Amino acid sequence: MTLMNDKVHAYKDQIGELSDVLPGVVKAYHNFTGECFQSGAIDAKTKQLIALGIGLFANNEVCTFYHVEEARAKGATDQEIMETVAVAGAVGGGHALSQGAMRVQKALH
């Protein structure tokens, strides 16, 4: 967990520095994401699991660590988190397979 915490804290430190340069941008981003992650028709825990899946698909290490932490804080179990990993893997595999089936086969013909 130390690596995860170190990476998340380093990101937060860097956002703090960016805020010194672009305070309006950072404030707008935090306001936007804060609103997006509020419970609504989709509860906050599920939103964190969605973000985790997207972070994995995008290969974003900091987002992956951050959203695991946030999902747990919102009550996600280890099983729910690992099922999210599996779904992200299925989407990633499906993405490669569908593009291969469509683009590569088209390029071959």
3-state SS of the chain?
CHHHHHHHHHHHHHHHHHHHHCHHHHHHHHHHHHHHCCCCCCCHHHHHHHHHHHHHHCCCHHHHHHHHHHHHHCCCCHHHHHHHHHHHHHHHHHHHHHHHHHHHHHHHC
What is the average pLDDT across 61-81?
96
Query: Confidence class of residue 1 from pLDDT cuts 50, 70 and 90?
Result: low
At 80-102, the pLDDT tens digits run: 999 999 999 999 999 889 988 88
At 8-62, the pLDDT tens digits run: 889 888 989 999 999 999 999 999 999 999 999 999 999 999 999 999 999 999 9
Entry pTM: 0.85
pLDDT of 42: 98
